Structure 1
Amino acid sequence: MPKIAYVNGRYLPHRDAAVHVEDRGYQFADGVYEVCEVARGYIIDMTPHLDRLDRSLSELKIGWPMSRSSLQTVMREVISRNGVVNGLVYLQVTRGVAPRDHVFPAAHTRPSLVITAKKSSPQAATKRAETGIKVITVPENRWERVDIKSVGLLPNVLARQKAKEAGAQEAWFVDPDGTVKEGAATNVWIVTKDGRLKTRPAESGILKGITRATVMRVAEKLGLEVEERGFTVDEAKSAREAFITAATTLVMPVVEIDGQPVANGHPGSVALSLRRAFFDVAEKIAA
């Protein structure tokens, strides 16, 4: 089955999908994006993902490219045309095409919309969760508005590349005082010695993860206490468990930080139990 992308009103073969050279997403990273997991033929947590898209667009004063209901229809069509039962669907909205100028273009400029979908293997993800991942830490060097899911991800790209070169799978941004903020593409959690879950508050300084919020509900269902409080790298290294959350990873155990094993260096029972119970709690809308 050939890959199909949606670009500004047209369904195109992936190899032919393109945006204008003066699209502001290309010129200025003047746009936002969202990504939803597709699992077992359902779009996971679509409502809160689109709510966050609405907030990101509002913060940047970018209009919706179409109505919310129409966007959902296009998402389903892209998923269907790509035969995705398990995978991811990506949405990117930019301020549109206009002559290059730092200030906003004319008010009638139409936002650009690109939607793509790709398959993934649940078995491969489960196998990775059974072994866990390694992370490194890097100094925080991003702009302050990381609460907006902007396409301006160069610091995240460099951090992920550094992680790859170190044999790790994720990088955690760390404040000057040693407090962990979030991963390059994930939210960060630890499990304390007494079994409490800790994750940094999402009012500012990090992206308010949709999967993060669902995991909080999963934790409540499992009778686990969640404390929204910052923690240091040293606390994470000495924790009972550590894990990350995102639509692309769900709940993924962390077994090593900067070359130092977390606990016994194996995935912990809390993270794995959260992962197993995730789909019982998450919103599921037929794709």
Structure 2
Amino acid sequence: MKILVTGGSGQLGQCLQELVKARSKDAIEFVFKSSSMLDITDKKALSEDFNTNQYRFCINCAAYTQVDKAETEIDLARQINSRGAKNLAQACNEIGATLIHISTDFVFSGKVQVPYTENDICDPLSIYGQTKLEGEEAIRVLLPHHVILRTSWLYSEYGNNFMKTMLRLGNERDSLSIINDQKGSPTYAKDLAAAILHIISLDTVAYGTYHFSNEGITTWYGFAKKIFEVANIDIDLTPIPTSAYPTPAVRPKYSVLDKSKIKNKLGVQPLHWEERLEAAMKAFSSCSF
């Protein structure tokens, strides 16, 4: 059985590679392809690749994730997040493959104060969120055999993310001002990768949309404070409102995801974000890159 991972060089793709390498050898062959190796916006190339390799699953980690730049690079964001997802759904449908697609908490506006369920109305505030929602909708129309995984505040020892940015700034500055009125749940990308591998291992998969993040709720300020605490970095942190740090893209003020469905239907049990942050930072400190 062959499984394709698109966007294989990103942080989630690298986490998947690490977990796959640690597994005992079995009959499953994972094929990791970066965007330069397989462009999901190239419909013809996708169709040829899928028909040649006859994948059983495609895990789509490829995405345009530069939230602020998307406000001006609208066409590029839409080409990757919307049309790219549509192309993958069509390619999967041609050969009977299942698509596992990664989406985002940014499909919601954050104008509530209770965790979002999969059935809640999507009303994105940004181009990034809108194009990711368009990708979801295309998949639902074209491919019955799909699992859409919405996640939030993704970080790891790989790629560019909030944890690594804070550690860098903590070693460069004596003080930082961090937003304290946006609430969400950090997600260790390695835990999301483990959840994906668990889903693939199931005898039968209940297709549909699911939410996954680590447990617990915090703010960016709370997240940063814990990072510096674990790293034993002495820095002066000041909590500030979103209004004090304007950005091109509007972020949801509350994007906590309700994970009841993935727990009950797929048997995935997320761990608390504070516990997993410590694991991620330990992994980062031991990295050779």
TM-score (norm 1): 0.27
Structure with greater helix share of residues:
2
Instruction: Give the structure with the higher percent strand.
Output: 1
TM-score, normalising length: structure 2: 0.27
